[in-house]
Amino acid sequence: GNSVTQMEGPVTLSEEAFLTINCTYTATGYPSLFWYVQYPGEGLQLLLKATKADDKGSNKGFEATYRKETTSFHLEKGSVQVSDSAVYFCALSLNTNAGKSTFGDGTTLTVKP
Amino acid sequence: DAGVTQSPTHLIKTRGQQVTLRCSPKSGHDTVSWYQQALGQGPQFIFQYYEEEERQRGNFPDRFSGHQFPNYSSELNVNALLLGDSALYLCASSSQPTGVETQYFGPGTRLLVL
């Protein structure tokens, strides 16, 4: 079956620090990969995505590269802000069913001023 | 352009009761998926509706059922509620059930079963 493994949290950083959240996956087909962000009391917002190997997704200073050889999709940001504090979810979906996503358990990020 | 909307926002029920949650997809979307997110965990896929039929189902018992209407809106029904059904229920919509289309999530309905 399909699965997503994220680095365990919580992660606490100082403002302007470098962020990496690790994500690895297993999939039976050719997945698209996603990072979602969830702010307290809210639903999920798509942060970025990549649909094939070596694609780089980017948004709001966040980046992640689809690495098929290591089955990874690590999230990075060069300089975090207090407003980036949230829960981050890595997810995959197969192109045969875009609406059926498999999620990791989430990583809580807290950024302190 | 309205995004995905869900109602109600919060709900409290007791064990054994039944509940109905509602979802309106983003304009232009015809596919609706439902997810259950327990506290501290990632969302788990319940099922997906397209063309008013259940197309895919996750590992959830038959107590969980759904419906899609001609206007693409959807309902999630849960019968014989258990304490373990307490969770945030998320609805997501997309413009087709296959391919690489992105799905958009609603704010969720938080269900508490006492």
Q: What distance in Å separates the CA atoms of residue B30 and residue B43, rounded to the nearest whole number?
A: 21
The structure tokens listed for A68 are 């098929």
Mean local confidence (pLDDT), A57-76: 96
pLDDT, one tens digit per residue, over A13-58 is 999 999 999 999 999 878 999 999 999 878 889 999 998 899 999 9
A99 with B104: Cβ contact below 8 A: no
Q: What distance in Å separates the CA atoms of residue A13 and residue A29, rounded to the nearest whole number?
A: 36
CA distance A38 to chain B (A): 10
B101 with A98: Cβ contact below 8 A: yes
A44 with B101: Cβ contact below 8 A: no
Q: Is the pLDDT of residue B97 over 70?
A: no
Q: Say whether residue A31 is in contact with chain B using an 8 A CB cutoff.
A: no
Greatest pairwise CA separation for chain A in angstroms:
44
Q: What distance in Å separates the CA atoms of residue A34 and residue B107, rounded to the nearest whole number?
A: 18
Q: Say whether residue A112 is in contact with chain B using an 8 A CB cutoff.
A: no
In this prediction, residue A94 has a pLDDT band, given cuts at 50, 70 and 90, of confident
Q: Is the pLDDT of residue B4 over 70?
A: yes
